[in-house]
């Protein structure tokens, strides 16, 4: 049973339900994934907050919300947001099934491009005088569409899905999304990781085939025999853990693995 995959699906549905709850008159949550309030706790997207900080327009509640979110994803591994929460990724995973059914080829982009996009966003924001990524942000726009019933806000999502279907499989999420770049940098410092036991591995590479970020994400353990999945693009989605027949991959903490002989 793929327990982590099913749990992740549940969280994805709950996130979408949380955004939709406002349309049905519920008051415990307000806002979208740019900025929101959950049971009186302010929450904010760190990249959105950083753009407003560069403009000198960052309000206290937004700063607090961004710090809370940053701390949360630092603890759990930055790109946990991508696989467990992001509605664009949720749609992209469904699109993957369509690509597989159609037998479309998998073209690849350099995963490092997203760091260039992140840099451009932060550079252009003070030059333009407004958050440069906001009008094109498929995550924020999609969450606005769900939260407030704004069908027009789905345009960035539809463009991303067309790009990933017709050109590059998971091209936006893997290679271009500046939000993913921010969380990848944050996740590099996270204490929560996927651990690897070489003595239990039978080198079936089921984990590499299951990884939504691409087989190279598992090169650390499988090729270099490292005790941790250290690739910045690891989203802690749990797919590799679910498919490993020997339970060689598990969630764990960096400090507990340091100095182990089975590294």
- pLDDT tens-digit readout, 233-245: 999 999 999 999 9
pLDDT at 176: 97
pLDDT at 215: 84
CATH of 192-253, picked from 3.40.50.300, 3.30.70.20, 3.40.50.11810, 1.10.3720.10, is 3.30.70.20
Give the start-to-end residue ranges of the domains of the chain: 3-185, 192-253
Does the pLDDT at position 261 exceed 50? no
Rounded distance between C-alpha atoms, residue 111 and residue 234, angstroms = 12
Sequence length of the chain is: 263
Query: pLDDT digits over 129-185, tens only?
Result: 999 999 999 999 999 999 999 999 999 999 999 999 999 999 999 999 999 999 999
Strand 35-38, strand 249-253: pairing? unpaired
Q: What are the contacts of 219-227 at 24+ separation with CB within 8 A?
A: 220/196, 221/196, 221/249, 225/198, 225/263, 226/196, 226/263, 227/195, 227/196, 227/197, 227/198, 227/257, 227/260, 227/262, 227/263
Dig out the tokens for 174 from the structure.
């893997």
Does the pLDDT at position 13 exceed 60? yes
* 260 band by pLDDT with thresholds 50, 70 and 90: very low
Does the pLDDT at position 263 exceed 90? no
Query: pLDDT digits over 201-236, tens only?
Result: 999 999 999 999 988 999 999 999 999 999 999 999
When pLDDT is averaged across residues 41-47 and rounded to a whole number, the result is: 97
Q: Quote the crossing angle between the two packed helices 87-102 and 3-20, to the nearest 10°.
A: 120
Distances (CA, A) of 110 to 135, 175, 233: 24, 6, 12
pLDDT at 1: 62
Residue matched to tokens 């929560």: 192
Query: pLDDT digits over 64-95, tens only?
Result: 999 999 999 999 998 999 999 999 999 999 99
Does the pLDDT at position 259 exceed 70? no
Confirm if 104 and 169 have CB atoms less than 8 A apart: yes
């Amino acid at each position: 049973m793929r327990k982590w995959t099913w749990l992740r699906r549940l969280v994805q549905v709950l996130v979408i339900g949380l955004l939709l709850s406002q349309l049905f008159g519920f008051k415990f949550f307000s806002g979208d994934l740019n900025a929101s309030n959950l049971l009186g706790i302010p929450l904010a997207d760190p990249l959105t907050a950083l753009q407003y900080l560069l403009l000198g327009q960052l309000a206290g509640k937004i700063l607090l919300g961004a710090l809370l979110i940053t701390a949360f994803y630092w603890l759990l591994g930055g790109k946990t947001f991508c696989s467990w929460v992001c509605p664009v990724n949720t749609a992209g995973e469904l699109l993957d099934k369509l690509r597989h059914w159609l037998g479309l080829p998998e073209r690849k982009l350099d995963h490092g491009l997203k760091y260039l996009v992140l840099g451009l966003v932060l550079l252009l924001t003070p030059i333009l005088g407004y958050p440069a990524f906001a009008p094109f942000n498929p995550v924020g726009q999609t969450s606005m569409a769900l939260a407030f019933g704004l069908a027009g806000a789905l345009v960035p999502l539809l463009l991303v899905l067309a790009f990933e279907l017709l050109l590059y499989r998971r091209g936006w999420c893997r290679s271009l999304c500046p939000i993913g770049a921010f969380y990848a940098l944050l996740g590099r410092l996270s204490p929560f990781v996927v651990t690897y036991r070489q003595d239990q591995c039978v080198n079936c590479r089921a984990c590499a085939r299951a990884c939504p970020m691409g087989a190279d994400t598992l090169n650390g353990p499988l090729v270099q025999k490292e005790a941790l999945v250290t690739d910045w693009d690891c989203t802690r989605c749990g797919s590799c853990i679910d498919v490993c027949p020997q339970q060689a991959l598990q969630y764990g903490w960096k400090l507990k693995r340091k100095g182990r002989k089975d590294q």
